[in-house]
Each structure stands twice: as structure tokens, then as C-alpha cells.
Amino acid sequence: MRLANILVLLFLFCSNEVLGQKVEVIKFPELQEIINNKDASVKVINFWATWCKPCIEELPYFEDVHATYGEQGIEVVLVSMDFVEDLDTKVKLFVEKKQLQSTLYFLDETDYNKIIDKIDTSWSGAIPATLIVDNRKNKKDFYERQFKKGELSQIIKTLIN
Amino acid sequence: MRRIHLFVTAILLVTVNTGATFEDKGYSVGDYAIDFKLKNVDGKMVSMSDYRNAKGIVVIFTCNTCPYSKIYEDRIIAINNKYAGQGFPVIAINPNDPARQPGDSFDLMQQRAKDKGFTFPYLVDETQKVTKTYGATRTPHVFLLKKENNKYRVAYIGAIDNNHKSAADASEKYLENAIEALKAGKKVSNDFTKAIGCTIKWKEA
């Protein structure tokens, strides 16, 4: 019995590692809560989609920041902007295949004209886009572009030092 | 010496000013838009000045590859079919560098226009200069221009409507409302909107 329990736990642990994180479906008010609650000293919130090539290219940089700085109070949040009909097929499959370990959400909205400015007024709506919330300095920075290799970790290094 | 100094300052100011409006910000509603001469999928060059009887032009930066562009293709065709005859034709411009996005090559643009039966020009902005001057940042990105004394003035910038999933469920048809306002000689009430779209694939510097 005890061995069975251990095996189950071991299986759950392993499967989580193998499958990547769960993708939670949210609406805009929940996203606002995620942006505004101060449960991490720095939040790196990236807007991406499986169909967005530059987004896919830069995802490893976000995963690296999660792996390197996750323990130091820096939370990486990946918000998928995919079409809702692609959630179970493309998005979840992609997450499994890439074994993404950052916190994952799927934003299920339609009227983005009402939303984009509330995330950041400088955002035109193109993805990739990244919002970095520094709760220690009460500062927000928005980047409507793809990061180059090394650029994101440099930004984070500068923030925490 | 002082004179030279003033002269240099003046030149610097002019450079800074034109630089800012030309490269960085793009157009705002009310600005006059430049005409262009770009290659269409049929190989011919197209300019706004070719449309002598137009009351305005619906310039849409769009592409082959972006899912948001694809989802709006039928709506763009419908808008051209509805409004070209009323003096507001659509001109589509593909801003993407095919070296970075091979799906947006000229051949594939021709193919897409044929497959979808585009009823409007689908132009390639090879140097990306028109895209930069207008200030398009995503696909699709609409610039509705109103003709005034043979010049084109920006009347609306933004999205086609407020529901990418379904045209029928869109409660606000921003672009159509803007065209209707121009037709009626009124000011466009909602003249700037935003939408999710694909980033423009700029040439590597």
C-alpha cells in the first residue's frame, strides 16, 4: 500500500515534469488581478500564441528566466492569445511537447479594443509583447517586440541588482 | 560663429522633427497621408492617384501568414465589394519581409489573391517605407483615408470590428461605421481602435 502510494506520487511528479504546466483559461478581470496582485517581486508577463513565429522563437528565453530566477521571487507568466478552438489541440500539445514550466494562462476574450489599453497604453496589439511588473520599485515596462538572445535575462539582471 | 551655430541648430531641429514623424510614430487621425507606388500581384504598379473618382481609400496592411489576417480576409473582400462602388475601394499592402516570413513571398501573395479571389489590389511594400511612414505595427491594420482637395487625410486607424471570431457577432463594426460617417459627410466618432495582430516582420537592420 505504501509502495503503491509512493509510486502514484512518483508518477504524478514525473508526469508533471514531462507534461509541462497546466494551462488555466482566464478572462480579462483575472488577468488584471494577475498583473496587479503583488504576489511576486517581479512579474514577467508575456503574450504569445502557437501561431506566432517570433513568439515561439523567444519562448526559451522566458523559460530560462523562470529556471534561473524563479526561486528569487521572479515569476514568469505566459499568456496564450491563441484562438479558443485551438486550446485543446494546438496549445496544450505545444505545452506538453516543449514541457513549459512557467505559469501558463489562456486568455479567452474577443473585444480586445477594450482590453489592450488597460494592459498598457503603449501596446498597439501586436504580439509578441511583454509586460514586466517590478513590484519593489512600483514600475512597469512594456515591450511590443521580440527579444533577442540574452536581452531578457539582461533586463532581469538589471532589475534585481 | 553664432550664425553657424544657429544654422546647425536649425538643421538639427528639422532633422529631429521629420525623423520623429516619419520613422517613429507614423500617422495619427487628421494627418495627411502620402501616396505610394507599389507593385500589385498582377505585376502592375498601383497608386492612390489611380483612383480618380474615389472619395476615400481603405488602406489595409495585411499578409498571407497571420491568422488574424486570414480570419479577416472574407470581411475585407466583403467591405471592398460593398464600398468600392460607393467611392471607398480597398488597397491591401503586405508589409512583411519574405526573407523573415517566406509565406509572404510575392509568388505566394499571387497565389493567395487568386485562391481567395481578391477584388482589390494586393501590393508588396518591398522597402517597408510606406508601412513605416503610415505607422502600421501589426497585421491587419486599417488606415481609412478621406480625399480632400486631391489629398488624402487619415480619418480612422485601427481594427475592422470588435470580434475576430465572428463577423456576425461583432457589436461594433468600426471600419464600416467610419466609412458610413465619411459618406454622410460626418466626423468619424470612434476614430482609433486596437486589436490583437501579428507583429510586422521588419527587415533585419
Task: Flag if B198 and A126 touch (Cβ within 8 Å).
Answer: yes
Q: Which amino acid is at A117?
A: D
Model pLDDT, residue B18? 40
pTM for the whole thing? 0.87
Partner A contacted by B162 (CB < 8 A): yes
**Sign of CA pseudo-dihedral B57, B26, B62, B191:** negative
Asked whether the beta carbons of residue A116 and residue B200 sit closer than 8 angstroms, the reply is: no
- pLDDT of B204: 87
- Residue A78: phi, psi to the nearest 5? -105, 120
pLDDT at A78 over 50: yes
Enumerate the residues of chain A whose CB falls inside 8 A of the CB of residue B196.
81, 112, 116, 125-127
What is the nearest CA distance from B164 to chain A, expressed in angstroms? 7
Task: Give the residues across from B123 on adjacent strands.
Answer: B40, B93
Mean pLDDT of chain A: 91
pLDDT at position A5, please?
A: 62
DSSP state of B192: B
- Looking at domain A21-160, its CATH architecture is 3-Layer(aba) Sandwich (3.40)
Contact present, B72 and B60 (Cβ < 8 Å):
no
- Cβ of residue B196 closer than 8 Å to a chain A Cβ: yes
Query: What pLDDT, on the 0 to 100 scale, is given for residue B151?
Result: 96
The ranges assigned to domains in chain A are: 21-160
Looking at per-residue pLDDT, the higher value among A58 and A3 belongs to A58
Residue A154 has pLDDT above 60, yes or no: yes
Q: Which residues of chain B have pLDDT under 70?
A: 1-24
Cell readout for B176 is 464600416
Report the topology of domain B27-199: Glutaredoxin (3.40.30)
Q: Angle A53-69/A151-160 helices, nearest 10 degrees?
A: 40
B102 has a chain A CB within 8 A of its CB: no
> HSE-up of A118 (CA within 13 Å, CB side)?
13
Chain A closest-CA separation from residue B99 CA (Å) = 13
What is the distance between the alpha carbons of residues B118 and B114, in angstroms, rounded to a whole number?
7
Give the contacts of B121 (CB within 8 A, at least 6 positions apart): B40, B41, B46, B91, B92
- Contacting residues of B for A49, CB less than 8 Å apart: 67
The three cell numbers of residue A126 are 501586436
Question: Which three cell numbers, joined as nine digits, stand for B136?
Answer: 502600421
Residue B160: all three cell numbers together: 475592422
Q: Convert the pLDDT of each residue in A31-75 to its tens digit.
A: 999 999 999 999 999 999 999 999 999 999 999 999 999 999 999
Give the pLDDT score at A161: 80
Grid cell digits, residue B91: 488597397
Q: Residue B125: its pLDDT value, please?
A: 98
Nearest Cα residue to A46 out of A11, A93, A78: A78
What is the structure's pLDDT at A3?
60
| Residue B84 φ/ψ region, left for φ over 0, alpha for ψ in the -120 to 50 degree band, beta for the rest | alpha
Helix (H, G, I), strand (E, B) or coil at A83: coil
Long-range contact set of residues B18-22: C-beta below 8 Å, sequence gap at least 24: B22/B132, B22/B133
Nearest CA in chain A to B138: A126
Question: A54: distance to nearest CA of chain B, Å?
Answer: 8
For β-strands B151-158 and B32-33, DSSP reports them as antiparallel
Separation in Å, CA of A13 to nearest CA in chain B: 36
pLDDT exceeds cutoff 50 at A14? no
ipTM over 0.90: no
- Contact (Cβ atoms closer than 8 angstroms) between residue A55 and residue A129: no
Residue A13 has pLDDT above 60, yes or no: no
Q: How far is CA B79 from CA B104, B147, B173, B180, in A?
A: 23, 18, 11, 12
Confidence of residue A6 (pLDDT cuts 50, 70, 90): low
- For residue B5, the model assigns a pLDDT of 55
